[in-house]
Amino acid sequence: MTASVLMRRDGVAVVLDLTGGQLPAIVHWGADLGPLTDGDVASLVLASVRTTDGNPVDVAVRLAITPQQEAGWTGRPGLTGHRAGGTDWSPRFVTASVSVDGVTAPAGTDPGTVEGSTVVVTAEDPNACLTLVIEVELCAGGLLRSRATVTNDAPTSYQLDELVLAYPVPSIATELLDFAGRWALERVPQRSPFSVGSHVREGRKGRTGPDAATVLHAMTPGSSFRDGEAWGVHVAWSGNHTHYAERLWTGEQVIGGGELLLPGEVSLAAAESYTSPWLYGAYGRGLDQCAGRFHTFLRARPHHPSTERPVTLNVWEAVYFDHDLPTLLELADIAAGIGVERYVLDDGWFGSRRDDYSGLGDWTVSADVWPDGLHPLVDHVTGLGMQFGLWFEPEMVNVDSDVARAHPDWVMATGDRLPLESRHQQVINLGIPDCYAYIRDAIFAMLAEYDISYIKWDHNRDLVDAGTQPSGRPGVHEQTLAVYRLMDEIKAAHPGLEIESCSSGGARVDLGILERTDRVWVSDCIDPHDRQHMLQWTGQLLPPELMGSHIASGISHTTGRSHDFGFRAATALFGHLGIEWDLRQASDVEREGLAAWIAFYKQWRDLLGSGTVVRVDTDDSQVAKGVVAADGSAALFSFASVDRPTVVQRGRVRFPGLDPDRRYRVQPVMIGRPPSGLRIPPWMGDDVNGRLTAWPTGDSSITLPGRMLEWVGLMDPPVNPDQALLYVLTAC
């Protein structure tokens, strides 16, 4: 049987050890190792065996992708479960077969090292009557992913408590980086030492959560966007989940994760199976390379959205629940006039939904507000050449609704009580077949009657006490699978329809939901100061074209802060551009500015949706980033001042990721008024009037080699806080 497998792709190599029929163990996950012989791989495997010094077990402990306690591993086991009476809780799996790229090695043979990109290992424990299948793939971009399936081979049930996977990381990785956050301030980075013990990030919200770890990294000390080494993992699951980093006293350290199962949630009857979510792993020289592996993988998917992302207007912050047809038609006219390509009607169009206290779950158009249905609005929007999008929240229900009154048992609950309300709503149980059919048929009816190109799919509360009535058995696992199935059905029936994952803003951002959706709403906070940070760090997982990024109104609806139009527009540009603003209140100058920024976005959206994202290591007073064309022909960079620096002027700014051997013309983007407080350096023009109120009329460009722009840079023009300068770089 295969002794080892060498996987390599896009600068990454993974070596799996399968010696002696044992479960696959990773002995190398990192940079490509170049040409190797069978002897080299065998020596690497041998060189990775630990000693038995220090009072562990008397044989070298071997860490499999699903760690086994019987192998001497005293950390978190990969598989945790039991049968009645507490038996079969510590299985010992032995490999029965190995398949590499679809070719199964014959039993009893030892071909040594095999190269491939997809490995499937089937292992059995005949005493515990369990079969374990482990899949390992090295995907586009050098992104590693694995999952496991456990099957109960006995006539008695097997209670599964947890199935997690773990990737080893070297001892030089002594720091951890993951994310915290809250509603309207998602994905805030946090660093900590990687010390002995467990760093556990559990999500028990029934959704990913605004405070989710998102990507948990182990890094060499001081790693940054461009420097150091980093290994990161992401659990592609939209329900309860776990990310963890663990270092044992014996020196081994791992990062991993999987689904967090509630008590009794998965009990396997005879011949039943459970499959874990994919655990993704990204290795990189610097955090940018880690992020780039996720971006490359996502962009390689056959169903990945086109780079021609339609400019979107969402009317929520313009009208909220006040659906007045003349107002909505006027907004459509203004939007079409400035270049908007998609118009989205948000919450409030159905049932008794005049506020957030009632009507949720009654997915029929309100006859009171819309006596002619949505046809007048939809026809007007599509007649203007725009797509029409509609808001749904299919997983939620108000108790004050026709559906809840008719089917109170469809509300997720446990015990003799309803869960505490959140946003005055409860969760409707899609794990119940009749309930699932009702929601599916209601959505399908709307899609059949109206020309809907886009669904904003919201999810506005955590799943607390989320059981299935009348027993109250936990239902988060089944609910998550049902949501996936519902989205899959909708997409299969309506090719080309796009779905946005919105969940109280950015509380459901993961690769599980993104297998079925086409973008995420990064946050309910569109304040550009906060969005600079959230877009920067959401980019650790997602490329720009998957991040909904809207130009806000002058005063933020979530923070109350006021920002210049230019800063709001420059911030929103680095994502899937949209507008969240009552355009009736915009001045003629602002509308002209919107048209100019939309035209600029359309000019550059192909680059934003296909180029390499680079982030510039700066101090905390600045957020700096860019996108460089894959062929190095052009780039777009943003340098946003988010606070006052501790010195008068920051000095030079660098432009990483360029072709070092090409020359680039650097030109500031001059749309609207210059940023407040701007003083231009000599390379940009003659600053004869101090701080500018208008852009200089002469040539403000400079041409330099890419190597010089990356390693030396240009003097950074001072601007006030909450201002941004953009630059277009074009290869000469």
> Per-residue pLDDT for 1 more than 90?
no
Are the C-beta atoms of 478 and 428 separated by less than 8 Å?
Answer: no
Cβ count within 10 A of residue 245: 28
The per-residue pLDDT for 529 is: 98
What region does 141 belong to: left with phi over 0, alpha with psi -120 to 50, or beta? Answer: left
> Per-residue pLDDT for 551 more than 80?
yes
The per-residue pLDDT for 72 is: 86
* Mean pLDDT, rounded, of the chain: 95
Tell me the domains of the chain and their CATH numbers: 4-299 (2.70.98.60), 614-731 (2.60.40.1180)
Pairing of strands 143-152, 273-275: antiparallel
The per-residue pLDDT for 56 is: 76
Cβ count within 10 A of residue 242: 21
Adjacent-strand bridge partners of 136: 119, 146
Q: How far apart are CA 105 and CA 5, in angstroms?
A: 12
Q: How far apart are CA 473 and CA 466, in angstroms?
A: 8
Catalytic center residues? 458, 524
User: Counting beta carbons within 10 angstroms of the beta carbon of residue 406, is it exposed (0 to 12), middle (13 to 18) or buried (19 or more)?
Assistant: exposed
Between 398 and 699, whose confidence is greater? 398
Q: What is the mean pLDDT of residues 431-447?
A: 98
Per-residue pLDDT tens over the stretch 222-233: 999 999 999 999
Q: Which amino acid is at 485?
A: R
The per-residue pLDDT for 2 is: 66
For the chain, state the CA radius of gyration. Answer: 27
> Per-residue pLDDT for 54 more than 80?
no
Per-residue pLDDT tens over the stretch 466-507: 999 999 999 999 999 999 999 999 999 999 999 999 999 999
Q: For residue 59, which phi and psi values (nearest 5 degrees)?
A: -120, 160
The tokens for 365 are 């158009």
Per-residue pLDDT tens over the stretch 232-265: 999 999 999 999 999 999 899 999 999 999 999 9
Q: How far apart are CA 532 and CA 187, in angstroms?
A: 12
The tokens for 614 are 């680079």
Are the C-beta atoms of 522 and 531 separated by less than 8 Å?
Answer: yes
Cβ count within 10 A of residue 362: 20
Name the nearest CA neighbour of 601 among 501, 498, 517, 726: 726
Question: Which whole-number Å values give the CA distances from 263 to 81, 266, 275, 676, in the listed order?
Answer: 11, 8, 17, 56
Residue 404's SS3 state is helix
The CA-based angle 56-44-225, given to 5 degrees, is: 90
360, HSE (Cβ side, Cα atoms, 13 Å): 28
Q: Give one DSSP letter per residue of 289-307, joined into a string.
A: HHHHHHHHHHHTSTTPPPS
The per-residue pLDDT for 46 is: 86
> Per-residue pLDDT for 108 more than 70?
no
Name the nearest CA neighbour of 211 among 236, 233, 231, 241: 241
The per-residue pLDDT for 84 is: 93
Q: Give one DSSP letter per residue of 334-350, joined into a string.
A: HHHHHT--EEEE-S--B
Q: What is the mean pLDDT of residues 598-627?
A: 97
Are the C-beta atoms of 720 and 681 separated by less than 8 Å?
Answer: no
The label of the residue with tokens 């599916």 reads 440
Q: Which amino acid is at 580?
A: E
Adjacent-strand bridge partners of 216: 233
The tokens for 430 are 């899609």
Are the C-beta atoms of 167 and 160 separated by less than 8 Å?
Answer: no
Is the preceding omega at residue 470 within 30 degrees of 0, hence cis? yes
Are the C-beta atoms of 166 and 78 separated by less than 8 Å?
Answer: yes
User: Counting beta carbons within 10 angstroms of the beta carbon of residue 630, is it exposed (0 to 12), middle (13 to 18) or buried (19 or more)?
Assistant: exposed
The residue length of the chain stands at: 732
Q: How far apart are CA 633 and CA 729, in angstroms?
A: 8
Q: How far apart are CA 207 and CA 502, in angstroms?
A: 11
Are the C-beta atoms of 530 and 572 separated by less than 8 Å?
Answer: no
> Per-residue pLDDT for 324 more than 70?
yes
User: Counting beta carbons within 10 angstroms of the beta carbon of residue 264, is it exposed (0 to 12), middle (13 to 18) or buried (19 or more)?
Assistant: exposed
Residue 556's SS3 state is coil
Q: What's the order of all strands across the beta sheet hosting 622-628?
A: 612-616, 622-628, 634-641, 723-731, 663-668, 702-705
Name the nearest CA neighbour of 24 among 110, 111, 94, 125: 94
Q: What is the mean pLDDT of residues 453-459?
A: 98
Q: How far is CA 467 from the centre of its chain?
A: 27
Q: What is the mean pLDDT of residues 189-207?
A: 98
Per-residue pLDDT tens over the stretch 13-33: 999 999 988 999 999 999 999
Name the nearest CA neighbour of 440 among 400, 487, 476: 487
Name the nearest CA neighbour of 68 among 142, 6, 123: 123
The CA-based angle 530-297-311, given to 5 degrees, is: 50
The CA-based angle 542-548-552, given to 5 degrees, is: 140
Contacts of residue 471, defined as CB under 8 A and 6 or more positions apart, other chains included, come to none
The per-residue pLDDT for 106 is: 56
Q: For residue 323, which phi and psi values (nearest 5 degrees)?
A: -90, 95
Q: How far apart are CA 238 and CA 260, in angstroms?
A: 11
Q: How far apart are CA 624 and CA 253, in angstroms?
A: 33
> Per-residue pLDDT for 107 more than 80?
no
Cβ count within 10 A of residue 560: 8
The per-residue pLDDT for 651 is: 86
What is the torsional sign of CA 463, 469, 471, 475? negative
What is the torsional sign of CA 280, 285, 291, 292? negative
Q: How far apart are CA 187 and CA 208, in angstroms?
A: 11
Pairing of strands 197-203, 241-247: antiparallel
Per-residue pLDDT tens over the stretch 666-725: 999 999 999 999 988 888 876 555 567 788 888 899 999 999 999 999 999 999 999 999
Q: How far apart are CA 231 and CA 12, in angstroms?
A: 12
